[in-house]
Amino acid sequence: MCFTRGSSADYDSWAKAGCAGWSWTELLPFFLKTENCKCPKLVGSEFHNTGGPLTITHRGTQLSDAFVDAGVELGFKRVDVNSGNIIGFGDFPMTIDEDGLRSSVARAYIHPAMERSNLTVLCNATVTKINIEDKKVVGVSFRTKKGDKFVKVNKEAIVSGGSINSPQILMLSGIGPKKHLQQFGIDCIADLPVGKNLQDHMSVQVKVSVKEGSEVNTGENFPSGTNGVEGTAFFKTGLEEPDNDAPDMQIHFTGEFYPFGPDAPDILVYKDPKYFPLMSFDTTREERMRKEGIVLYSTFLHPKSIGSVKLRSKDPFDPPIVDPNYLENPYDVKALIQGIRLAKKITETKAMAPFECKINCLKMPDSTHDEWSDENLEEVVRHYAWTLYHPSGTCKMGAAEDKTAVVDPQLRVLGIQGLRVVDASIMPKVTSGNTNAPCIMIGEKAADMIKNDRQ
């Protein structure tokens, strides 16, 4: 539900690398087309629009306002985080409407079109193969509770399974690395680097207690109309190339302490109780639900650690092997440490002083290092970093001569007629920020290209 487009430099770098038509200036109209902006501070801006299908709102508090003021106190600009030039601190819009309901793409795009005669929506249907003859898509096989089905393709098929399932579908259909497909007896129709270039955003929580009675959300009073993320900051760590104008770090300001704990096993990857105190997981769920506090999420935006998606078998119901390769490159760890240090500075500003912020202890158990040393914080990162679920890049877009590309700038699978991929997997590099808004823009851009191709 977080709504941030990323940096203009992200898209300009795509265009510079051979993705014609994907610069910030060329994409801004598609971002605007999606929006029905209801944020009072943004309405009327050249970077925002009303009347689009996707409602954007913002719910701030005294604490989130103080967070932005803290950034200004530290020398950063106050910014509209969707203006393209995003280095600084600002409010964080969300795809939640005025009634407190999530403005999802289902509600914004699909539900209003359900009565169209040219649209059929099938649930609980799994694509098993894209059928290709003479390098041209002729149909799609899928399975429902009623058995195996086949639909003929007269013009083209569009794969939008996301950065995990899209590469799986392509590889099962004979599109992918030849040697890998041969391992499963799959005939290679197009030898392309499908499944490579997997990128994701890793984040570390800095949990902060605040003065009792502060205007924050708890598990007991969490209001409708917010996802809890009320402010954000984008900045440069100084570790990246100086000529790169995009930020490489983001901090999400969350106006709640988050009640996750050992009773949420799908979230925790560590089970040893000695690790619980650092995240306040040593308290009961009831105590965590009542806890007044905030969380500052330190998030590295441009990972050097690149993963992959591979087939586990030729069975479409067998989940693929996902190797995110998180934190393999020490650079990523250094950057996350920089984010943690900025989070600490934010809590120490005059703007945040009225709330008596106190960071939850970050001292690793059994560590002999000082709490705020690089050595201790590296252990914190390696033990507590988790994904923000922004997998991208596994069907990379690029110029026709780009040997690392899977689709061209029109999102057509290279060497195959009548097949496009439209989702986060086409990103050459993951955007600077949450991927919700960029994915919707990609859909709008693809729709426009498809309509123009058929005129």
Q: Residue 90's closest CA among 45, 30, 51?
A: 45
At position 247, the amino acid (one-letter code) is: P
Q: In the structure, what pLDDT confidence band is assigned to residue 300 with cuts at 50, 70 and 90?
A: very high
Among 454, 452, 426, 403, residue whose Cα is nearest residue 14: 426
Q: Enumerate residues 6+ apart whose C-beta is below 8 A from 400.
A: 408, 414
For 14, half-sphere exposure in the C-beta direction (CA atoms, 13 angstrom radius) is 28
Nearest Cα to 296, choosing from 67, 125, 452? 67
Q: Report the pLDDT value the prediction gives residue 430, as an integer from 0 to 100.
A: 97
Domain match, 399 and 360 both: no
Mean pLDDT calculated for residue range 409-414 = 98
Identify the pLDDT of residue 261. 62
What's the rounded mean pLDDT across residues 169-189? 98
- Beta-carbon contacts of residue 27 (< 8 Å; ≥ 6 apart): 11, 441, 445
- On whether both 256 and 345 belong to a single domain, the answer is yes
- Higher-pLDDT residue of 185 and 261 is 185
pLDDT value of position 274: 82
Q: What does the pLDDT average to over 434-446?
A: 97
SS3 label, residue 13: helix
Tokens of 4: 């941030």
Q: Are residues 298 and 404 in the same domain?
A: no
- Residue-range definition of the domain harbouring residue 374: 59-92+202-302+327-384
For residue 149, the model assigns a pLDDT of: 97
Structure confidence by residue, pLDDT tens digits, 52-64: 999 999 888 888 9
State pLDDT tens for residues 204-226: 999 998 888 776 655 544 555 56
More confident residue, 225 or 156: 156
- Based on the fold, state whether residues 142 and 170 are members of the same structural domain: yes
CA distance linking residue 165 with residue 172, whole number of Å: 10
> Domain ends where: 384, 406, 424?
384
| H/E stretch holding 377 | helix 374-384
In the chain, the amino acid numbered 183 is: Q
Q: What is the structure's pLDDT at 256?
A: 76
Predicted confidence at residue 241, as pLDDT, reads 66
Q: What is the mean pLDDT of residues 139-156?
A: 96
pLDDT digits (tens, 9 = 90+) for 334-344: 999 999 999 99
Lowest mean pLDDT among 92-96, 262-266, 352-356, 387-391: 262-266
Of 345, 363, 384, the one marking the end of a domain is: 384
Mean pLDDT of the 383-411 span: 95
Those residues whose C-beta lies under 8 Å from the C-beta of residue 14, and which sit 6 or more positions away, are: 22, 23, 397, 427, 428, 429
One domain for residues 207 and 183: no
Whether 436 and 296 map to the same domain: the answer is no
Query: What's the pTM?
Result: 0.94
Tokens of residue 431, six digits: 């955007």
pLDDT higher than threshold 80 for residue 159: yes
333's tokens? 């760890």
Residue 91 has pLDDT above 50, yes or no: yes
Q: Domain tally for the chain?
A: 2
pLDDT at residue 215 in the model: 66
Q: Is pLDDT at 266 greater than 50 in this prediction?
A: yes
In a domain, 45, yes or no: no
Cα–Cα nearest to 308, from 238, 367, 395: 395
pLDDT at residue 220, rounded to an integer: 47
Q: How far apart are CA 165 and CA 191, in angstroms?
A: 18
Residue with more model confidence, 279 or 206: 206
- Residue 358 pLDDT: 94
Looking at every residue in the chain, the average pLDDT score rounds to: 91
Look at residue 270 and tell me whether its pLDDT is greater than 80. no
Inside any domain, residue 209: yes
Instruction: Check which CATH number belongs to the domain holding 216 and give it.
Output: 3.30.410.40
Domain end: 352, 384, 416, which one? 384
Residue 447 · residue 158 · CB < 8 Å: no
Q: How far is CA 114 from CA 27, 110, 288, 430, in A?
A: 27, 6, 42, 32
Nearest-angstrom CA–CA distance, 50 and 107? 17
Residues noted as catalytic: 390
pLDDT at 414 over 60: yes
Q: Are residues 411 and 290 in the same domain?
A: no
Are both 285 and 374 inside the same structural domain? yes
Average pLDDT (262-282) is 68
pLDDT range class, residue 325, cuts 50, 70, 90: very high
280 and 348 assigned to the same domain: yes
Residue 40 lies in a domain: no
Pair (63, 168) in one structural domain: no
Q: Could you tell me the sign of the dihedral formed by the alpha carbons of 339, 340, 342, 347, in that order?
A: positive
